Structure 1
């Protein structure tokens, strides 16, 4: 009978150690969660500040900032829908550069450009990851009315 009690005591000791390890792990995870919540709170505050700045562009040369710019900022979209009243200044710099490259290409007599050509003109390596990133941005610009996407997969500046 003593050996059964000894085995039970050994199992209880092992279980206590497991409980202590789990409590230590839970404390570590709680600390990680607390830090993640602090980071999230800072990001939410930053996002609110950006929405506020976009809603009231004091000192900027943007003619009209429509509600869709604020809505785009709230949804996390870097490209608001072009309604004919927005200037390029409301776009993130990467998107502005794509439009500039397309304007340069059009001025040089090349009306359309592929994503690979855009990536190269932007100074990026012509590797699939970079090309696809440029293609994704260009498609977003086209979907929101800033540029034209052709069936051939090429992009160009909107023509009046």
Structure 2
């Protein structure tokens, strides 16, 4: 009987070592992710600032440069300051989630995959963020923006569902979904 207990202890120690190694890897990847997010944020701000300067220096009738190669809706009048492009467009018939920035697309896909209305705190871990207050509040802000732009509906306070079910919201989040449902 002693050898069975010994074998179980050895397996437990090996599993614990694997868990500790994975946790260390997660810490390293989280630090790298935050660094890349910071670089991305600086680049986005730089692009928006350059667009603003171009518009201030531009001739009358100059169109504002925008992200993603999309053209602005019209001609910018002289003296109008353009800080940046709308990153989350208003939903319209025929518009797919592919036009949304990655994090917004992930949020819409998680909400679409859910069997019932979801809260920000349920979405955060499914989009690969740590379930800390700052990330939950940031995600809540993104959810509210998606509601304002017509992508989601907030039936009850804090409870979000897809505004247009079955409209080109494919589940790309299967990489984050380990078979659980919300």
Q: Partner of 2:102 in structure 1? A: 93
Deviations 1:59-93 (A, max 9, x none): xxxxxxx939xxxx975332111122321121111
**Aligned pairs (5 A) from 1:1-40:** none
Q: CA 1:103/1:49 → structure 2, altered by over 3 Å: closer, same or farther?
A: closer
Unaligned runs of 5+ in 2: 1-45, 55-63, 75-81, 166-182
Q: CA 1:151/1:124 → structure 2, altered by over 3 Å: closer, same or farther?
A: same
- Select the structure of larger CA radius of gyration: 1
Is the partner of 2:153 in helix, strand or coil? strand
Q: Give RMSD over aligned pairs.
A: 3.0
Residue 130 of structure 2 corresponds to residue 114 of structure 1: no
Q: Distance in 1 between matches of 2:50 and 2:88?
A: 20
Deviation, structure 1 residue 130 = 0.1
Q: Distance in 2 between matches of 1:89 and 1:142?
A: 17
Q: Which runs of 4+ in 1 moved over 4 A?
A: 39-42
Q: How many residues align?
A: 102
Q: Partner of 1:152 in structure 2? A: 157
Q: Distance in 2 between matches of 1:96 and 1:41?
A: 22
TM-score by length of 1: 0.54
Residue 135 of structure 2 corresponds to residue 130 of structure 1: yes
The structure where helix makes up a greater share of residues is 1
Contact in 1 for aligned 2:146/2:152 (Cα 8 Å): yes
Is the partner of 2:156 in helix, strand or coil? coil
Q: Partner of 1:48 in structure 2? A: 65
